[in-house]
Amino acid sequence: MRKQHFVIKLENQELLQELCGENDCNIDKLEALFESKVISYGNEIIIETDNQQKQALFKILIDKIDNLLILGKHIDSDVIQEVFDLVIKSSDYQKTKIMNNFIDVGKYGKIFPKNLSQSEYIEAMNKFSLVFGIGPAGTGKTFLAVAHAISLIQQKRFKKLVITRPVVESGENLGFLPGDLNQKIDPYLRPVYDVLDLLLSKEEAAKFEERKVIEAAPLAYMRGRNLNDCYVILDEAQNVTKSQMKMFLTRLGENSMTVVTGDPSQIDLKKSSESGLVEVMRFLGDIDLISFHYFSESDVIRSKLVRQIVDAYERNAKII
């Protein structure tokens, strides 16, 4: 499929030649920054991309460089990098990026990110088949992952949503808990069910249940399975042991999408060093097909009070 050409016109050809630099060295820099083909023609500079975020960023960047050229500023790759960094941090660009990344969940409508970090998290889920969402409570890690899954299932991209959590958090064992399997795991998966209740109407939820589109299961029941054509969410992954994490990640099948969420500051294992999430954070980050997205305490959106509580814990941890 041919990529769209996004065209920006400068005042004259001379300005464009100065922008391009000697032997088009600045064009090379622009192509590296945007990971897209950039060409010049007459007084026009063109980027080949249908990515609206790249187009918006390119437009803001070229406009600012154009203003520098009119003021007589010499443009080289270092200047382009400086302007690019400033644009990325600008509120106008951040607002554009936030509005362009959303999740469309059928009757619920469009779910827009509440900050830049959530926007980049959604962008990562749209690009990668394995995403780790890591950070404190209240940042929307699980909510956005479930919403993204429901959206893609409604688009028939996947057949089923499989949600799993570790259920042995404080040395307890399922066998010691009362009731059948569903009754035993219900308290652990209740936060996920709450998200589903928000996203789906009663009719949609009934249809999903009838078709067995959503499956919730403890992590121990993932062993031996191949999860083909599934959207898989592993929640509370900080409480997954190293061996459990390896088992889980090797279950992923063809045409699968996986989001792993967790908060390393809330490990309930007897030995925090046994956390499989902490381990993979150390050595899976170099794999190009995997995205690690880190939320900070400043990204907490649950309430002002929660944000202040998280801040207090962060400060206390640094003192200790």
More confident of the two residues 98 and 73: 73
pLDDT tens track for 80-97: 999 988 887 776 677 777
Which residue's structure tokens are 């509005």?
A: 99
Strands (E), the chain: 5-9, 37-41, 44-48, 103-105, 109-111, 130-134, 160-165, 214-218, 230-234, 257-262, 290-294
pLDDT tens track for 126-179: 999 999 999 998 899 999 999 999 999 989 999 999 988 887 544 445 554 455
Residue 201 has pLDDT above 60, yes or no: yes
pLDDT score at 151: 93
Burial 32-60 (b: 16+ CB within 10 A, else e): ebbebebebeeeebbbbbebebbbbbbbb
Distance CA 151, CA 148 (A): 5
Which residue's structure tokens are 């050409």?
A: 5
* Average pLDDT of the chain to the nearest whole number: 83
pLDDT tens track for 280-294: 999 998 888 899 999
Distance CA 212, CA 205 (A): 10
pLDDT tens track for 244-284: 999 999 888 888 999 999 999 899 888 888 899 999 999 99
Distance CA 160, CA 228 (A): 9
* Nearest alpha carbon to residue 158 among 92, 244, 255: 255
More confident of the two residues 144 and 214: 144
Backbone angles phi, psi at 255, to 5 degrees: 50, 50
Q: Which of 21-30, 48-57, 166-175, 203-212 has the highest mean pLDDT?
A: 21-30
pLDDT score at 172: 44
* Nearest alpha carbon to residue 262 among 120, 113, 145, 91: 145
pLDDT score at 317: 65
pLDDT score at 181: 54
